[in-house]
Amino acid sequence: MNKSAFHQLSYGVYVVSTWDQGRATGCTANSAMQITSEPATVAVSINHDNYTNQCIRSTGRFAVSILGENSDPGIIGAFGFKSGKDNDKFAQVEHVTKEHMPVVADACGYIVCEVIDSMETDTHTVFLGKVLDADVLKKDVPMTYSYYHNVIKGRSPKNAPTYIAE
């Protein structure tokens, strides 16, 4: 199998967030996609070991903050390389509340979902969410995963579904 073909799939860069008993939390994710239009549904794939997984499970909701090319790239690192279990990731990141979910204020848009189904894989849970609210926050070019790799020179940790060992 030539895993380089996986690099030809296109993604964006998002923060998937939810609540942890009254505290906002979440993780960086590339895996968000719209599944249906009417009613609108969106799916995310979150690693079993990510704290965000169990928080989405108990809250039953998640938000997808869509990062733009002008969003602070530090947000990707803050949410993508630490666990919310022992880090208050939103403490330093300005956010707004939409449909009871924390949304990154510096994102170019957001989508808030209620979990209506989920599917287990060996390593990740695919959460299917019915869209409760969505809006554009500012005019920006949504960041692509290839922009993250090629322009920002960012890495992907092991828990990202697209991770390929060097």
CB of 1 to ligand FMN, least distance (A): 21
Q: Judged by CB under 6 A, which stretch of 24-32, 59-67, 110-118, 126-134 contacts ligand FMN?
A: 24-32
CA 58 to chain centre: 17
**Which of these ranges, 93-101, 106-114, 136-144, 150-158, lies near ligand FMN under the rule CB under 6 A?**
150-158
Beta strands in 30-94 (DSSP E): 32-36, 41-47, 61-66
Shortest CB 143 distance to ligand FMN, Å: 10
- CA distance linking residue 52 with residue 59, whole number of Å: 10
**Residue 65 engages ligand FMN in binding (rule: CB under 6 A):** no
Residue 37 Cβ vs ligand FMN, minimum distance, rounded to whole Å: 22
Q: CB of 117: closest distance to ligand FMN in angstroms?
A: 18
For residue 103, the surrounding DSSP H or E stretch is strand 101-104
Q: What is the DSSP letter of 68?
A: B
